[in-house]
Amino acid sequence: MHNDVNIGHDFNNGGGRYWLEVQGGSAELTYRNDRDGVILIDHTYVPPESRGGKVAQMLVEHVVEDARKSGLKIIPQCPYVDKLFRRRPDLNELRA
């Protein structure tokens, strides 16, 4: 994990948002609580100026780390996150 990167996490009862300030603005990953023990990642966004630098992947890895610690499963509804889950066998255990 990238310990030098400061990723923020805003949350409420219905879901939340992980974010990171990058060139061009804020990159973000949003999720909502689907059911007990399951979150649904519905959106990732990286400003055009910062695309291609694995910013979205860093956000996903941060969510995955938090999900593992909390015993949560993930529904990767966002196409980018779903593609990442399909390419990374180590993430399969977290798929709801």
Q: How confident is the model at residue 85 (pLDDT cuts 50, 70, 90)?
A: very high
What the block records as the tokens of 41 is: 């990642």
In this model, does residue 88 exceed pLDDT 60? yes
Angle subtended at Cα 50 by Cα 47 and Cα 56, rounded to the nearest 5 degrees: 80
Please give the CATH superfamily to which domain 8-91 belongs: Gcn5-related N-acetyltransferase (GNAT) (3.40.630.30)
Ranges of beta strands (E only) in 13-67 are: 15-22, 25-35, 38-45
Query: What CA–CA distance (Å, rounded) separates 95 from 63?
Result: 13
pLDDT digits (tens, 9 = 90+) for 4-58: 679 999 998 899 999 999 999 999 999 999 999 999 999 999 999 999 999 999 9
pLDDT digits (tens, 9 = 90+) for 38-47: 999 999 999 9
**pTM for the full predicted model:** 0.91
Domain residue spans in the chain? 8-91
Mean pLDDT value of segment 62-77: 97
Phi-psi region of 35 (alpha: psi -120 to 50; beta: other; left: phi over 0): beta
